[in-house]
Structure 1
Amino acid sequence: MRTLHPASWLIACLSTLLVVPAPSSRAGEPEWNVLFVAADDLGNVLGKSRPEGLRTPNLDRLAKRGTFFERAYCQIPLCNPSRASVMTGLRPDATTVYDLDRHFRDQLRDAVTLPQLFRQHGWFAARVGKIYHYDVPRGIGTNGLDDKPSWDLVVNPKGRDVTEEAKITNPTPHKPVSAAMSWLAAGGSDDEQTDGMIATEAIRLLENLADRPFFLGVGFFRPHTPYVAPKKYFNMYPLESIRLPDIPSDDRDDIPQAAIPHNIPKPNYGLPDEDLRKSLQAYYASVSFLDAQIGRVLDAVDRLGLRERTIVVFWSDHGYHLGEHGLWQKRTLFDESARSPLIIDWPAAKSHGVPCQRVVEFVDIYPTVVDLVGLSIPEDLDGRSLRPLLEDPERTWDGVAFTQILRPGKQKPIMGRAVTTDRWRYAEWEEGRQGRELYDHETDPRELTNLADAPEHQNKTKRLRRLFSEKARGNNPETPVIRSRL
């Protein structure tokens, strides 16, 4: 693998391309390219969950020419473990990655990641920006927790958003900007920001890989905190137009304490509404800035004549709270944190532009992409191919999603686990000893009424609990891993 700065990658890239072998494929099938686009901390802001007035024309364009999975659930709502799960196709209990510091190869030395599998079959695999975990903004411009066997080439841009950290507004100065609802309406142009540079480098790679089969990972850092975007994107969302969620005064009365992230002890961090609205404005600005950079990359795919032979996968590592339950950011099992956008544009699909409402999981991404290009799906993956839903988004689908999160506890860590079906979400903390939750998404999509203790729902709770009881490992991440085909 070659690690290059943007100014020096071109010559090395071209010399590498000369020795890249052609990929294997089934007879008569095209040699697909894969454009694998990731956002960081993008919540449920598309489709039916779109906040009023939010503008994402390029992601909307991608959804219209592909399939938007509106009910896609991550396996763990935290950046590093979620990305490790996506890239290995394995659940957190298999990777044993529950935090921001552990690398999945500490547990799975011989794992074959998604891009690594493509490399093994002759595709050229390259990465620009954040696909595996990075600290933000400290890790921008480095390899972060990258995985060397995954790539032939990596490019790590670093923009003025990093060097101008001192200009960022942080209403909670006791928290670092990486974890705070902090923001900056930046000067300068898009291409001076890290994400703008990532789009530029991705386009250059597309231009030089246009005649070779490729797997190109393009990882954007926004809208992760600090919410930094050029001023013009802030101007799209006048502060007086920003509305905060309407939260019932007794909202938290039936929520187990363990369900509330340890880093948000007070609702809304105890901040005044003005700061919350400024944070929300900055988040929307960052989303629209991200969308513009994705549009640049999609335009290049079309301009280079790659669209009909390129599978585009867009995903974010997890969902994101924007004030629901008085919560912000991630680390919960609530729907806003566990669910995140997933769009797959497969030009050979029989259906385009029809949103899919079936429950799917992020561990399904790996087997799906492998299946679509005609390779054999590894037998040890925890997900399944979504190809049937790409061909018919409204077909019958027995989808069930499993999400978990590890909390610090007084004596030992507390594991929370949730199972989501078409209608219900059931969660338990430390196998129920620290509380349980049951929500009916048909009548209560905002998850305001916890039905776990309601007598009339005890049979339902038992049935849902059985779906993951074989997989539960308690609350100690050092206990032996139990694998289940769920």
Structure 2
Amino acid sequence: MKSIKIILCILFVTLQIQAQKKKQSKPNVLLIYTDDHRYTGVHALGGQDVKTPNIDKLANEGLIFTNTYLMGSYNGGTCMPSRAQLLTGRRLFDLKGIGRVIPTEQVAIGEAFLNAGYNSHVIGKWHQDNKSLGRMFNSGATIMSRGIYLTDHYRMPLWDWRADGKYTKENAIIYIYDKKGNIVKRGVKKGEIKGPINTEKDGPHTSEIYANNAIDYIEKNKKEKPFFMYLAFHAPHDPRQAPKKYKDMYPEEKMKLTPSYMEQHPFDNGHMTTRDESLAAWPRTPAIARKELSDYYAIITHLDAQIGRVITSLKKSGQYENTIIVLSGDSGLAVGNHGLMGKQNVYDEDGIHVPFIISGKIKGKGRRIDAFSYIHDIYPTICDVANVKIPESVTGKSLKPVIDGKKEQVRDYTYHAYRQHQRAYRKGEYKLIEFVRAPDIDKHSKVEFISGSRTTLLFNFKKDPWETTNLAFLPEYKETLDNMRKEMREKSIELNDYKERNEYPVDFWDYYTD
């Protein structure tokens, strides 16, 4: 009897140890999402003059996905649908409206990790509804964009995480320096939102605030549960502010413009007067473009330094080797490419091509994966890599078969939409972009006062990645063009791009004719 008790005791202890090991073996996940950060905004990815040593290190130690794209947006604020696609793992055409609200039947990524036994933590920019924020995370730090928005990285209205989900103007805060140079929080003063742009002398940059929050969480993490952290930086979104030492790294007169730089976009793309396009005067002279590019690279390099601080804290705390680190941007940004400033387009670097890196626990020695993918494929890929069940509501595709070498592609094309104005289709070496501008009708007389227009572009993406040489009018590309047009229309039906959308009464396909 005594021996049986000893055996049972040993068995019990063994099972407890195994259970503990299994519990500890779950990897942490750090999902870093940057704002308006194009693929070539990482030096290791695009080889441009921007300095990103910390992101480069993640890329060179991990996996680099070279063909990851935003599927598109039905509004000029592409940040919102981009985040909805990332957080739900669903296509643009599967979102509710423009992506502001995430319905309860769509299991968001934070929920998937909560269901898998994780602590789910949020820091930074949040563009969706409060209810989905509350159900996706069980803890958090500083949250941005809950009701007051100010384009100033040095005094952005922010909110402390609230379990009750009540983010009001009254509980908004601003981080500033006190007389001793310490970071303190205070409420937003009446009329302050319209005040002048602040500088590094007045308070910490949003990238510094979010990095500080992340470091604080990592250092205090008791490791009782694995964590899923969504760290959403507002940089390098405008205003492109950075501390002087970072701006000094990029003298404006020495900036090298990209191959697709133009002073002015050659035709009306349907949405030429958006907010982003008003950030610089027309034409975008070389001096203007160099200034904007200098500011862009400066804020990216400052962002990179903050990401480096977070990675260092993971290493010091002993959690780096058990943390899957994922970094992606939410959209591209033109900053002078094709004569544009914003991201309201379907050109690659200007609007839809984003960095996507998996590193930390996942080793890849900088292996480049050329498989086509979308932002909404990141969610199922993370789940697959972390061995977390992918919810049925997810319509994206996991890239793990490609990572494991079992497949070369999970997609053989990409399709993109921007409002009712633009559609793009990429397959093989070629990319088709179609622009439609519907006629403007006087509401009273119902007379057309500005004619509609249509423009077709065809690029050989392998030879012309910056999309500078239009092949659409050349006879030798007629068959390729016809096939691409035919397939794009077929995909639009397959993807449900004909769905009625109350936000925009005019549909692209109503005015697109062969």
* TM-score bracket, shorter-length normalisation: 0.7 to 0.9
Contact 2:265 2:340 in 1 (8 A): no
Is 2:491 the partner of 1:467? yes
Partner of 2:53: 57
Amino acid at match of 1:162: R
Q: Determine the C-alpha separation between the residues in 1 that align with 2:437 and 2:393.
A: 26
Partner of 1:359: 372
Partner of 2:120: 125
Partner of 1:79: 79
Amino acid at match of 1:60: D
Aligned partner of 2:133 among 147, 153, 159: 147
Cα displacement string for residues 153-209 of structure 1 (whole angstroms, at most 9, x for unaligned residues): 1211789712799xxxxxxxxxxxx9xxx997x4349x8222111111101111222
- Give how far 1:449 is off: 3.2
Is 2:454 the partner of 1:442? no
How many pairs were matched up?
417
Contact 1:183 1:226 in 2 (8 A): no
- The structure-2 alpha-carbon separation of the partners of 1:460 and 1:401, relative to structure 1 and needing over 3 Å to count, comes to closer
Aligned positions of 1:323-402 closer than 5 A = 323-336=336-349, 337-345=351-359, 347-349=361-363, 351-392=364-405, 395=408, 398-402=411-415
Is 2:36 the partner of 1:31? no
- Give how far 1:346 is off: 5.8
TM-score, normalised on structure 2? Answer: 0.72
Q: Determine the C-alpha separation between the residues in 2 that align with 1:444 and 1:471.
A: 28
Q: Determine the C-alpha separation between the residues in 1 that align with 2:253 and 2:437.
A: 44
Q: Determine the C-alpha separation between the residues in 2 that align with 1:39 and 1:162.
A: 19
Q: Determine the C-alpha separation between the residues in 1 that align with 2:262 and 2:120.
A: 51
- Give how far 1:439 is off: 1.9
Q: Determine the C-alpha separation between the residues in 1 that align with 2:115 and 2:55.
A: 31
Q: Determine the C-alpha separation between the residues in 1 that align with 2:385 and 2:20.
A: 11
Partner of 1:104: 101
Q: Determine the C-alpha separation between the residues in 2 that align with 1:267 and 1:188.
A: 26
Cα displacement string for residues 189-233 of structure 1 (whole angstroms, at most 9, x for unaligned residues): 9x8222111111101111222512110111111110011111110
Q: Determine the C-alpha separation between the residues in 2 that align with 1:49 and 1:183.
A: 32
Q: Determine the C-alpha separation between the residues in 1 that align with 2:284 and 2:433.
A: 29
Partner of 1:456: 479
Amino acid at match of 1:161: Y
Root-mean-square deviation (Å): 3.7
Contact 1:258 1:435 in 2 (8 A): no
Aligned partner of 1:313 among 307, 326, 329: 326
Contact 2:31 2:325 in 1 (8 A): yes
Contact 1:43 1:341 in 2 (8 A): yes
Contact 1:75 1:91 in 2 (8 A): yes
Partner of 1:204: 216
Partner of 1:416: 422
Cα displacement string for residues 292-349 of structure 1 (whole angstroms, at most 9, x for unaligned residues): 0000001111111112211111111111112111011201011111101111126255
SS of structure 1 residue aligned to 2:29:
strand
Contact 1:260 1:332 in 2 (8 A): no
Unpaired segments ≥5 residues, structure 1: 1-23, 135-142, 166-177, 407-413, 480-486
Amino acid at match of 2:134: K
- Give how far 1:400 is off: 2.5
Amino acid at match of 1:59: I
Contact 1:40 1:317 in 2 (8 A): yes
Q: Determine the C-alpha separation between the residues in 2 that align with 1:26 and 1:321.
A: 48
Decide which structure has the larger Cα Rg and report it: 2
Amino acid at match of 2:354: S
Contact 1:430 1:474 in 2 (8 A): no
Is 2:154 the partner of 1:161? yes
Partner of 2:501: 477
Amino acid at match of 2:127: H
Amino acid at match of 1:39: T
